[in-house]
Amino acid sequence: MAGADLKRVISRVEDLPTLPRTVLRITELVNDPRAAAKDLSIIISDDQVLTARLLKLVNSSFYAFPRRVSTVTQATVLVGFDAIRNLLITTSVLDLFPARSAKVRREQELLWDHSLGCAIGAKTIGAFLRHEKLEELFVAGLLHDIGKLVEMMFLPAEFNRVAERVRDNGGLISAAEQEVLGCTHAEIGRILAERWNLPLKLADTIALHHRPLEAGPFALEASVVHLADIFARALDLGSGGDRKVPPLDQTAWGLLKLKTSAIDGIMAGMLTEFDDIRSFLG
């Protein structure tokens, strides 16, 4: 992307929202190896909305614990620090982007469903590969198209032109973004990730989900999200703003060492979980 274009976009999105203070504090705490479940639950209990969400999540069929979980400390111990941080990032992100009109709201919902589908896909592929950090893959999938949300909210005129081009020419949204904005949602996503001080792994996975091998040490994670994006589109889970499936990066496919016979099982798992989880994140 030309430097001038990126600068122009950055100047336009300068007043991007910041993550709530509670989420930042929790992110710091999760990175602190000495932190205990009690420290985390004190911060969460301070925030009624987060408390309600956490208890709703742990009592949902997603976790299927045999008994009702009624305290934040119980929830923290059962679900784990990483899962809680990821839940909070997830639910906070949507809050930051209030929709302006019914049309934008509809577009946001479709994008959100696509993101959720990709998140579940990344987690399911990760489980198949026995990856150790499934929650991390989930969040990476959920945020991979966050740049598109930024375009909708902060560059509405440009985003409309992008949508028009996709409608008229029928191509991929990235190509239209390149023509209109001089950069793509992946690069805008990186700007947001850096502004939010998200971990480098997450920022790189967001920025490089269409070119996963360039993510260096995080190439495996970026490849998982790259494939999950394709699966979510193939299964019609929401919409990423265009009606085409992007090409599969052959090196990424090779890196994942998946057989085509595994695809059905992964997709079956994705659909079950998507229908299950949508009700409480929606």
Partner 1 sequence: MPILNLDEVKPGMTLARAVYTHPERLLLEAGRRLTEKHLRIFKSWGVAAVAVKESAAGEGASQAVVSPPDPPDDALREKFSDVLGDPVMRAIMEAAARQSAGRERRRKARHGRG
Is 245 a binder of partner 1 (CB under 8 A)?
A: yes
The torsion angles phi and psi of 108, rounded to 5 degrees, stand at -65, -40
Please give the angle made by the CA atoms of 99, 22 and 188, to the nearest 5 degrees.
Answer: 45
Residue 226 Cβ, how far from partner 1 at the closest point, in Å? 12
Number of residues that bind partner 1 (CB under 8 A): 34
Residue 139 Cβ, how far from partner 1 at the closest point, in Å? 17
- 57 is written with which tokens? 């999540």
Longest CA–CA separation in the chain, Å: 57
Is 130 a binder of partner 1 (CB under 8 A)?
A: yes
* Residue the block writes with tokens 């991390």: 136
The binder of partner 1 chosen from 31, 268, 279, 282 (CB under 8 A): 268
CA pair distance 192, 17, nearest whole angstrom: 9
Is 271 a binder of partner 1 (CB under 8 A)?
A: yes
Residue 64 Cβ, how far from partner 1 at the closest point, in Å? 5
Is 48 a binder of partner 1 (CB under 8 A)?
A: no
CA pair distance 272, 235, nearest whole angstrom: 12
Is 78 a binder of partner 1 (CB under 8 A)?
A: no
Is 234 a binder of partner 1 (CB under 8 A)?
A: yes
Is 272 a binder of partner 1 (CB under 8 A)?
A: yes
Is 269 a binder of partner 1 (CB under 8 A)?
A: yes
What b/e string do you get for 123-132 counting C-beta neighbours within 10 Å, with b at 16 or more? bbbbebbebe
- What crossing angle do the helices spanning 185-195 and 146-154 adopt, rounded to 10°? 90
Number of H helices, E strands in the chain: 16, 0
Kindly tell me which of 41 and 124 has the beta carbon lying closer to partner 1: 124
Is 267 a binder of partner 1 (CB under 8 A)?
A: yes
CA pair distance 109, 144, nearest whole angstrom: 15
Residue 206 Cβ, how far from partner 1 at the closest point, in Å? 22
- 269 is written with which tokens? 């798992």
Residue 236 Cβ, how far from partner 1 at the closest point, in Å? 7
Residues lying near partner 1 in the complex (CB under 8 A) are found at 62-66, 124, 130-132, 230-231, 233-236, 243-248, 250, 253, 260, 263-265, 267-269, 271-273, 275
